Amino acid sequence: MSIRFDSGKHVFLLETPSSTYVIRLYEGHVLHGGWFHRLPDWSGACVTPSCERPSFSPVPEEFEGKTYFSPDVMQQEFPVTGRGDFRVPAIEAVDASGVNGAEFRYVSHTIGKGKKPLPGLPATYADENEAETLELELADPCGPLRLTLSYTVWEGFDAICRHVRVKNTSESESVSLRSVMSASIDFPHYRFKMLQLSGAHVRERRMITRDLCPGMQAVESRRCMSSHQQNPFMALLETNATESTGEVFGFSLVYSGNFIARSEVDQFGTCRAQIGINPYNFSWKLEAGQEFCTPEAVLVRSEQGLGGMSRTYHELYRRHLCRGAWRDKVRPIVINNWEATYFDFNAKKLFALADTAASCGMELFVLDDGWFGHRNDDRSSLGDWFIFKDKLPEGLKQISDGIHERGMKFGLWFEPEMISPDSELFRAHPDWCLHAGERKPALGRHQLVLDMSRKDVVDYIEQAVSSIITESGLDYIKWDFNRCPSDVASASLPADRQMEVSHRFYLGLYDLLERLVAKFPQVLFESCSGGGGRFDPGMLHYMPQTWTSDNTDALSRISIQLGTGVVYPASAMSCHVSASPNHQIGRMTSLSMRGHVAMAGTFGYELDLNRLSAEEIAGIKSQVELYKQIRDVVQFGDLYRLETPLSSNRLEAASYGAWQYVSRDRKRSVVTVAWSYAEANAEYLLLKPQGLEADARYAIRCSPENNPPVPAGTCVSGGELMYCGLRIVNQAAYGGSLLFILEKV
Ligand code: GLA
């Protein structure tokens, strides 16, 4: 890792272990030089396009005796509007004269060790030896704005983290920021497929790819949350890249609100890729002297295909984005009462569930929705974070103590950013919800959204959640968010700041979370939003795991989890075994398959254990035991997607997913294959594990143990496993899935 400035060539070279990112200075203009395989040196002579283009690409100025250029044809580092570049700009700002336009020139730079935090925003972090940061200062010679473009390179990661700070240096006049991206890169070609993670509630993060073509292709959220529908991420895969080969660029935004990730292919076949806050319903009044900071964009370059990109994100996010006592600890096995009881519980039922869970070896009991206010269904009480006395007359302490006595940790569900119209909180503070003037705000799941841009609201939630944590000795919190904010307006802000509310909402939330995680470092926080509606890097900074989806069906989970794992590590991906038939889609699957699929992340159960047969309970006990043996490999190992929806163009109708985790010391590995359905007289499936030591020998164990495709006690070299593979037939006898444990002997 290093950042070098070649003052002779006016070039910055940002070096990661296997790549070089180039920034050029040209007569004060800051131009992008490219992001390549690691270079010894860079002259730019071969890739810089000839500057002349005819009159439809205007030229801001002609340099004396030198070739002039139009911004329209140059690779820009942070493109502006109004000076002849007609591609999408990275910043739009309207100054006091009402003009939308600015132009920035290099002023100075600093190169320093480590990485500074971003004010009020979640971000990756590093100490002095782990990263280096370049800050480029740019100023508009004819306007009040100054930009700081920040770039961090990492020891050991092919990643560059970028953000931008915009300062209004005027002494008296404000500027209205209309859009400011966190990162922009101009690629000299568009031979890319764009990968996005798209879906819906209970159908999150499908891997979708498309070939780029001229024009704009974008994914975005306008839901005031990162959303189930699109994830704040995109990747550009060189057209011949695969899961394990070729060049891939990832763009991920450390943010939980409205975002946009876009690729614009222009008239000359170049591609501008950007990620940042969505300009939709956004503007920011920057008063004289004030600074605006964008969220952080985390850019990853891989030469080992999509898999290489994912592994970089996983390790970077695990070690440099997640924080706290739980960051490096294996996560407890959960029993959650939601799909076991829904709202219909009392202390007796909860303890009966806890007794069975404890006897099966589970470690954390989570009491879900319905313990507060007078909440017997989803129509009331959000905001009233005090015990529902009629349901739990002995209080929460009794439940918490009872769970602790059974040797388990105790956790609670909250939905702190919401307010029910039927709540004491709403009756006391009707203006605390997001709403636009006299217009009645729209309900979602019978609830309204609190106005997190208000400090009084944030203070209230901090106090309410803190006192429950302290009084009940909580070890864990599931932090839910069950509707998209609509009516995104605030009673506490003036007219010219209403379009700041969607961003201020997240500044308020991040402030609240920062206070809570600082106060309660031992508490394990799990983010949730109707499952995976806010599965984003912003939330991961405060909460090291997220409830992946409200859909707990094992087959649906194959694609949801494979898609989630494109960016997010298994330690962040919460997965539970639930009942069969499944409550969301009615499908029946074997207990064994539900277990194998849920073992791809942080593991748990969410069903009424006391309605199961003795045989099923025995099955669960052995699953819990198995997961305890493999969880460190799963949660902290390297992921290899062996078969994904991207590669499932197969002869037979039955499709399957296969994935593998390898411990970082390569001594242990877990390989799982799960079929969507059984096939008659099926094709052979050749599973080729990856990431093993070719010369080492690995003993193979298989789950289920009866009738294994590889006899128990088999021991072969890593090379044989990787190059010859494991040959399997899809057999109903396997119950729909197989899990292999490989251990170096
Ligand atoms: C959301 C969550 C579920 C459950 C319910 C409770 O839908 O995703 O897991 O907690 O809320 O109302």
- The arithmetic mean of pLDDT across residues 204-233, rounded, is 97
Task: Please name the amino acid found at residue 247.
Answer: E
Distance 550 CA to ligand 1 centre (A): 7
Instruction: Using most ligand atoms within 8 A of CB, pick from 381, 445, 480, 484 the residue to mutate for ligand 1.
Output: 480
Query: What one-character DSSP code corresponds to residue 745?
Result: -
Catalytic residues: 480, 550
Q: Tokens 């306008």 — which residue?
A: 222
Residue type, 240: N
Q: Is 324 left (phi over 0), alpha (psi -120 to 50) or beta?
A: left
Rounded to 10 deg, the angle between the 395-405 and 455-472 helix axes is 50
Ligand 1 neighbour 12 (Cβ under 6 A): no
Mutate to test the pocket of ligand 1, among 366, 382, 413 (most ligand atoms within 8 A of CB): 413
User: DSSP 3-state assignment of 246?
Assistant: strand
Tens-digit pLDDT profile for residues 692-711: 999 999 999 999 988 888 98
- Does any ligand 1 atom lie closer than 6 A to the CB of residue 481? no
Q: For residue 581, is the peptide bond before it cis, meaning its omega torsion is within 30 degrees of 0?
A: yes
Distance of alpha carbon 508 from alpha carbon 514, whole angstroms:
10
Of 56, 59, 57, 20, the residue nearest 41 (C-alpha):
20
Residue 729: count of CB within 10 angstroms of its CB: 13
CA of 530 to the centre of ligand 1 (A): 5
Q: Which pLDDT value is given to residue 645?
A: 62
Go through 29-44 and write b for each residue having 16 or more CB atoms within 10 A of its CB, e for each that does not: bbbbbbbeeeeeebeb
413 lines ligand 1 (CB under 6 A): yes
The DSSP code for 529 is B
Nearest-angstrom CA–CA distance, 304 and 312:
10
Q: Which residues is 293 bridged to in the sheet?
A: 165
Per-residue pLDDT for 733 more than 70?
Answer: no
What does each C-alpha distance from 115 to 306, 321, 507, 520, 541 come to in angstroms? 27, 12, 21, 25, 15
Closest protein CA for atom 1 of ligand 1: 530
CA 479, CA 384: separation in Å to the nearest integer? 15
Q: pLDDT-based confidence at 54, cuts 50/70/90?
A: low
If you measure from the C-alpha of residue 427 to the centroid of ligand 1, how many angstroms do you get, rounded to a whole number? 25
Nearest CA to ligand 1 atom 11: 530
Which tops the pLDDT comparison, 74 or 511?
Answer: 511
Q: What does the pLDDT look like over 480-532, one tens digit per residue?
A: 999 999 999 999 999 999 999 999 999 999 999 999 999 999 999 999 999 99
Q: Please name the amino acid found at residue 246.
A: G
CB of 338 closer than 6 angstroms to any ligand 1 atom? yes
- The closest alpha carbon to 743, from 599, 629, 620, belongs to 629
Q: What is the pLDDT of residues 522-570, one digit of tens each?
A: 999 999 999 999 999 999 999 999 999 999 999 999 999 999 999 999 9
Best residue for ligand 1 mutational test, from 368, 420, 574 (most atoms within 8 Å of Cβ): 368
Nearest CA to ligand 1 atom 2: 530
**Helix 591-598 / helix 554-564 crossing angle, nearest 10 deg:** 10
Instruction: Name the token pair of 587.
Output: 């499908």
**Is 202 near ligand 1, meaning CB less than 6 Å away?**
no
The verdict on the CB of residue 530 being under 6 Å from ligand 1 is yes
Q: Is 382 in the pocket of ligand 1 (CB under 6 A)?
A: no
d(CA 180, CA 258): 13
| pLDDT reported for residue 73 | 87
Q: State whether the beta carbon of 479 lies less than 6 angstroms from ligand 1.
A: no
Go through 55-65 and write b for each residue having 16 or more CB atoms within 10 A of its CB, e for each that does not. Answer: eebebeeeeee
Segment 89-98, tens digit of pLDDT: 999 999 999 9
Q: How far is the CA of 336 from the centre of ligand 1 (A)?
A: 11
CA distance 670 to 630: 7
Closest CA to 564 of 679, 444, 659: 659
Of 468, 495, 434, 416, the C-alpha closest to 176 is 495
- Stretch among 429-443, 502-516, 608-622, 702-716 having the lowest mean pLDDT: 702-716
Query: Which of 528, 549, 557 has the most ligand 1 atoms within 8 A of CB, as the residue to mutate?
Result: 528
pLDDT in the model for residue 57 = 82
Token pair for residue 14? 């940002």
- Residues 6 or more apart whose Cβ sits within 8 Å of residue 250: 233, 234, 235, 298, 299, 300, 301, 302, 309, 312, 313, 567
Q: Where do the DSSP E strands lie in 425-580?
A: 448-449, 476-479, 524-527, 545-547, 573-577
What's the CA gap between 130 and 319, in Å, rounded?
11
Give the DSSP H/E element, type plus range, for residue 650.
none
Q: What is the distance between the alpha carbons of residues 622 and 615, in angstroms, rounded to a whole number?
A: 11
Give me the phi and psi of 700, to 5 degrees please: -110, 130
Determine how many CB atoms are found less than 10 A away from the CB of residue 584.
17
Q: What is the mean pLDDT of residues 107-116?
A: 98
Q: Which residues pair with residue 165 across a beta bridge?
A: 148, 293
DSSP 570: G
Q: Which two tokens stand for residue 121?
A: 């925003």
Q: What pLDDT score does 656 carry?
A: 80
CA angle 451, 452, 453 (to 5 degrees): 90
Q: How far apart are CA 411 and CA 113, in angstroms?
A: 40
Is there an atom of ligand 1 within 6 Å of 532 CB? no
**Rounded to 5 degrees, what angle do the CA atoms 337, 537, 436 make?**
80
pLDDT digits (tens, 9 = 90+) for 445-462: 999 999 999 999 999 999
Nearest ligand 1 atom, CA 528? 8
Determine whether the shortest distance from the Cβ of 414 to ligand 1 is under 6 A: no
How far apart, in whole angstroms, are the C-alpha atoms of residue 517 and residue 680? 53
Q: What is the CA(613)–ligand 1 centre distance, in A?
A: 27
Given a contact cutoff of 8 angstroms between Cβ atoms, the answer to whether 546 and 535 are in contact is yes
CA-proximal residue: ligand 1, atom 12 (nearest): 369
Compute the distance between CA of residue 24 and CA of residue 165 in angstroms, rounded to an integer. 20
The answer to whether the beta carbons of residues 137 and 150 sit under 8 Å apart is: no
On the question of pLDDT at 646 being above 70, the answer is no
Cβ contact 196:336 at 8 Å = no
What mean pLDDT value characterizes the chain? 95
**Phi, psi (5° rounding) for residue 108?**
-165, 175
The string of pLDDT tens digits covering residues 329-367 is 999 999 999 999 999 999 999 999 999 999 999 999 999
Q: How far is the CA of 486 from the centre of ligand 1 (A)?
A: 20
Q: For 484, what's the count of Cα atoms within 13 Å in the CB-facing half-sphere?
A: 16
Using only the alpha carbons of the chain, give its radius of gyration. 27
User: What is the DSSP secondary structure assignment for residue 291, as one 8-state letter?
Assistant: E
86-122: buried (b, 16+ CB within 10 Å) or exposed (e) per residue? ebbbbbbbbbeeeeebbbbebeebebeeebeebeebb
Structure token digits, residue 35: 């992001």
Residue 647 has pLDDT above 70, yes or no: no
Indicate the pLDDT class of residue 65, thresholds 50, 70 and 90.
Answer: low
CB 362 within 8 A of CB 408: yes
pLDDT above 60: residue 64: no
Distance in angstroms (rounded) separating the CA atoms of residues 627 and 604: 10
In three-state secondary structure terms, 66 is coil
